[in-house]
Amino acid sequence: MRVAMIGAGYVGLVSGACFADFGHMVTCVDKDAGKIARLKDGGMPIYEPGLDLLVAQNVRAGRLDFTTDAASAVRQADAVFIAVGTPSRRGDGHADLSYVYAAAEEIAQVMDGFTVIVTKSTVPVGTGDEIEAIVRRVRPAAQFAVVSNPEFLREGAAIEDFKRPDRVVVGTEDERARAVMTELYRPLYLNETPIVFTDRRTSELIKYAANGFLALKITFINEMADLCEAVGADVQQVARGIGLDKRIGNKFLHAGPGFGGSCFPKDTLALARTARDAASPVTLIETTIAVNDARKTAMALRIVDALGGEPAGKTVGVLGLTFKPNTDDMRDAPSLAIIPALQALGAHVQAFDPEGATEARQLLRDVALKDDPYGAAEGADVLVIITEWDQFRALDLDRIKLLMNRPALVDLRNIYKPADMRARGFDYSSVGRA
């Protein structure tokens, strides 16, 4: 099959490379000429483990290429995927669909022969109908079908998630489109991956329902963490004790500084908006959003407490800036709320992140970015772990202690044990543990 992937970001590039690896001929299209030039040169515009190798192999095999010219790629394609961004619209929280609709227009102008247009972007219910109307308006006689195929990959484990997903969801009632989608995902059929065929609107909602539920699950355990602190219980034991129940499951039960990232914040907002517009509010999700927002402030105050309540003039060392490990993605990362809150109270912040520095430079002001964790600890009055990169799990704590102005560690990811840390002489606090 010939595939055109419109948008070569975290989702488009991974999906494109994986489809190529399945044996399809894929062209990734992006408007960002710098991104395409970099890919053509063998470079990577994002950090995602294993992606550089996968891209290089498939480019070498002649199955994957990159262009800024949508026309040539779309004209030849059996399936054109839309994998452009759908950020929150300013003001009302609705998904901003302008990139999606612009892509739909561009596709309509140049597509040739029966074409399956697939939305991989996360889009609210009814967006497929709108894309269909746009294409119909631009090309009244065109032969096409619009399919919803939401993506569930996680940054940091994106290739594995794409190639071995728990399920694939395909929303279409068009038989020809169904045949094309079946062929595209054939390698997964061989692995017995469940493929959920459904109607388009249901498929669109499945993606938001999944992210809404996961965001709610994280927020639930975060509230349990607060309760554990108040009553003298241990949230990690609570998570284990409930997670072993198969009805609950042990994933997404890690207490921390609140969810962030490129999906949950904007998708929960858009879900709440869609539900309000449909006069069927999802109050659980609205509450989840509010509780999660409040948590970021609460985390900053926890750091202030570790500074004896007097942050002005003190130095805070931060380990981890990205919204999770193994990505360079900083979108809506908890660090972006916590660090400015500390700075507003007069603290100086110095930080280290293994992959996030380039992005962080654009998004954070007056943060001294260091080359390693020890640089972030040097002279600090408190060291805060915001993102649980593996390399923070085995720090030379004696060295850290010597480097710091005062040995205080706020571990917002619970990667160290309270008793160990106290035995080493740290003033240690974590989340949901005595």
Reported as half-sphere exposure (CB side, CA atoms, 13 A), residue 282 has a value of: 21
In the stretch 278-317, what mask flags binding to ligand NAD with x, by CB under 6 A?
Answer: ----------------------------------------
Question: Alpha carbon of 401 to those of 19, 368, 369, 408, 422: distances in Å?
Answer: 48, 20, 20, 8, 12
Stretch binding ligand NAD (CB under 6 A), from 78-86, 243-251, 339-347, 415-423: 78-86
For residue 28, how far is the Cα from the chain centroid?
A: 20
155 binds ligand NAD per the rule CB under 6 A: yes
Alpha-carbon distance 429 to 80, whole Å?
A: 50
In the stretch 119-138, what mask flags binding to ligand NAD with x, by CB under 6 A?
Answer: --xx----------------
Q: Which residues pair with 116 in a beta bridge?
A: 79, 145
Helix, coil or strand: residue 10 = helix
Q: Answer yes or no: 263 catalytic.
A: yes
Q: According to DSSP H, which parts of 232-257 are helical?
A: 235-243
Of 326 and 429, which has the nearer Cβ to ligand NAD?
Answer: 326
For residue 180, the minimal CB distance to ligand NAD (Å) is 20
Return the closest-CA partner of residue 268 out of 319, 318, 219: 219
153 binds ligand NAD per the rule CB under 6 A: yes
Of 4 and 307, which has the nearer Cβ to ligand NAD?
Answer: 4
Site for ligand NAD in 380-419 (CB under 6 A): none
Tell me how many residues contact ligand NAD (CB under 6 A): 27
Sheet holding 79-82, edge to edge: 64-67, 25-29, 2-6, 79-82, 115-119, 144-148, 168-171, 195-198
Alpha-carbon distance 297 to 329, whole Å?
A: 21
For residue 318, the minimal CB distance to ligand NAD (Å) is 23
Dihedral sign for Cα atoms in the order 404, 409, 415, 419: positive
In the stretch 7-26, what mask flags binding to ligand NAD with x, by CB under 6 A?
Answer: xxxxxx--------------
Cβ-contact 430, 417 below 8 angstroms: no
CB neighbour class for 282 (10 Å; exposed up to 12, middle 13-18, buried from 19): buried
Identify the residue among 59, 76, 99, 277 touching ligand NAD (CB under 6 A): 99
Identify the residue among 58, 86, 203, 222 touching ligand NAD (CB under 6 A): 86
102 binds ligand NAD per the rule CB under 6 A: yes
47 binds ligand NAD per the rule CB under 6 A: no
Please, which residues have CB within 8 angstroms of residue 281's CB and are 6 or more apart in sequence? 272, 275
326 binds ligand NAD per the rule CB under 6 A: no
Stretch binding ligand NAD (CB under 6 A), from 151-159, 236-244, 305-313, 360-368: 151-159
Alpha-carbon distance 128 to 134, whole Å?
A: 10
Of 31 and 75, which has the nearer Cβ to ligand NAD?
Answer: 31
Question: Alpha carbon of 433 to those of 227, 249, 417, 429: distances in Å?
Answer: 10, 21, 9, 8
Of 262 and 350, which has the nearer Cβ to ligand NAD?
Answer: 262
Of 236 and 262, which has the nearer Cβ to ligand NAD?
Answer: 262
Question: Which residues bind to ligand NAD, rule: CB under 6 A?
Answer: 6-12, 29-32, 35, 83-86, 99, 102-103, 106, 121-122, 151, 153, 155, 262-263
The catalytic residues are: 263
